[in-house]
Chains A and B, each alone.
Chain A
Amino acid sequence: MQGKVVIAGVGNTPYGKHPGRDKIDLIVEAAREAIGDAGIAKDEIDGVFVKIANASPTVLYGQKVSEALGLQPAIGCALDQGGAANVGLMTYAALAIEAGIIRNALICYGDTARTGSHAVYHRPRGDDAIMGWYSTAAGYAMIHQAYCQRYAARDEYFGAVAVAARDHGARNPKAQLRKPLTLDAYLAGPHVIAPMRRDDMCLLSDGGAAILLTGAGEAKRRGNARAVPILGVGQAQESWEVHLRPDLLSSRAAASAETAFRQAGIRRDEISFAQLYDCFTVTVLQTIEDYGLTPRGQAGAKALAEGLGVDGWLPFNTSGGLLSESGTPGLQLIIEAARQLRGEAHVQVKSPRYGLVSNQGGSMHTHATLILGAAG
């Protein structure tokens, strides 16, 4: 990638409850903001890339979204990679731009998991449901338990992640959950699927989000001084169900990061901040370790001792992430990274140079990593 394609514009609806609204109308609202932010004409969009809605998958979805946007794009498509799909879609869109197949791509997501159906997150898991195996959260709880056992991890390590995300969400006017969390309140929270507590778990949210990609040359010609370059992308899939993996505590997030860092040509310690897919707190600790930002088993202690705020060891999920801003799967993390690198975040890191984003889906089945550079 190395900066040949840029994020030209971003947009999102408020997150939380949008009773009576349709997922596609939330996408159009977010896209309208992204189009305005990018300063391009709507009809210049010739690629529409949409992640399927977790709560309500739809056939020919790329086409239904394009129709609502009044577009007949060269490429219109939908992707299912769970929560890794947004970085996945960005990757394929950026390659299509680089190849000259399209010029301007819209990546978008909308869902109504809060006021609509969230049955997908509580679903019986195939034949294993007869053993009581239900929900998305349970797969992560299984990893959480393995993490506690192998590393003798304290509950406070997970709490440090939740407290940081909630602190940042409280300062984001568009966030769904704006109530800060203390470590004591975290520890007093009830177990839902032990060892996982209520505040280890992400939100269920209605909302829409969109970003516009274009070529770096195109952005320059238009005088877009806030374009954020894509420096590296990587993907790697675990694919196997949680219980069939040889090691619950070593995921292919590592391989996805390796590819992204190699493309970007930067070292781990050059990262200014990380927007990590915090669907559950263990995912954050696991991703930090898979990414090689700390040795195995040490992410939690370091987070607790040195902090995940903008002045801490690793400025993390500065708009609140899935735990506080929105439980929607991952595009909000990319948008926040772009805002940071434009210097426009609510909780701003000082003069960031490189931003790291992780996306993952299923029960850590899929992984994607994105590295962005400073705007301009």
Chain B
Amino acid sequence: MSVPEIIETAVSAPYWQALAAGRLDFQYCRACGHGWLPARAQCPACLSDDSEWRPASGRGRIVSWVVYHKAYAPHLAERVPYNVAVVELVEGPRLMTNIVDRPDGQGLAVDAPLELVIETDFGRALPRFRLVEA
């Protein structure tokens, strides 16, 4: 198994294009005001088609995290241990991401404040986060 490939769709392409331009965008429903990720054609709250992409502030908090010691694909063998975290943006949407500089999860805590750092990896601009020192 090789590095996973992102298949951009008509719905998700704006998300990836924004990251490439240095922004993390989320979808916002013009009908009901709900905000969400990942990309969908309709608002999951009110089912409206009428949404727009808005830039996130880049601030968020940790909901939970794990540290992989097992590599589930060959390209991950040189990365273990590495963390994957659930992050909630201050605007509400959540995403699955990584906390930089803390491969083994050291110093992470639920609700710890974060800021966005966009890194290029596997040829893609990816949204990652770093702990904000109190």
Contact = CB atoms under 8 A, between A and B. Distances in A.
Nearest to B94: A243
Contact of A149 (B12, B82, B109): B109
A146 B70 contact: no
Interface string A175-217: 0000000000000001111111000000000000000000000
B16 to A, nearest CB: 9
Interface residues of A, number: 31
B68 A131 contact: no
Interface string B63-101: 111111110110010010110101000000011111000
17 contacts: A124-B1, A131-B126, A132-B79, A133-B96, A134-B72, A138-B84, A141-B66, A142-B65, A142-B66, A142-B86, A145-B64, A149-B109, A150-B110, A191-B67, A193-B69, A196-B66, A242-B86
Tier of interface size on chain B: 35 or more
Interface string B22-49: 0000000000000000100000000000
A128 B72 CA distance: 14
A131 B97 contact: yes
B110 A243 contact: no
Interface string A96-135: 0000000000000000000000000010110111111111
A105 to B, nearest CB: 36
Given A129-B4, A146-B110, A149-B64, A192 B84 contact: no
Contacts of B79: 132
A130 B122 CA distance: 8
Contacts of B95: 243
B21 interface: no
A38 interface: no
A160 interface: no
A248 interface: yes
B124 interface: yes
B60 interface: no
Contacts of A7: none
Interface string B1-24: 101101000001000000000000
A149 B85 CA distance: 14
A127 B3 CA distance: 11
Contacts, number: 85
Contacts of A149: 64, 109-110
B105 interface: yes
A134 B73 contact: yes
A191 B63 CA distance: 21
Given A193-B70, A242-B86, 10 more contacts: A124-B4, A124-B72, A129-B4, A130-B6, A131-B97, A132-B68, A141-B66, A142-B64, A194-B67, A194-B69
A143 interface: yes
A60 interface: no
A191 B69 contact: yes
A59 interface: no
Given A131-B84, A132-B84, A194 B66 contact: yes
Contacts of A130: 3-4, 6, 121-122, 124, 126
A138 B66 contact: yes
A244 interface: yes
Given A149-B109, A193-B70, A127 B98 contact: no
A217 to B, nearest CB: 46
Contacts of A145: 64-66
B70 A192 contact: yes
Given A131-B84, A142-B86, A193 B67 contact: yes
A131 B105 CA distance: 15
B5 to A, nearest CB: 8
A196 B84 CA distance: 14
A194 B83 CA distance: 9
Contacts of B94: 243-244
Nearest to B79: A132
Of all A-B residue pairs in the complex, the 7 with the closest CB atoms, nearest first, are: A134-B72, A129-B4, A194-B67, A243-B86, A128-B96, A146-B64, A141-B66
A75 to B, nearest CB: 33
B98 A131 contact: yes
B7 to A, nearest CB: 8
B63 A146 contact: yes
Given A127-B6, A130-B4, A143 B67 contact: no
Interface in A218-268: 242-244, 248
Interface string B102-114: 0011000110000
A199 to B, nearest CB: 14
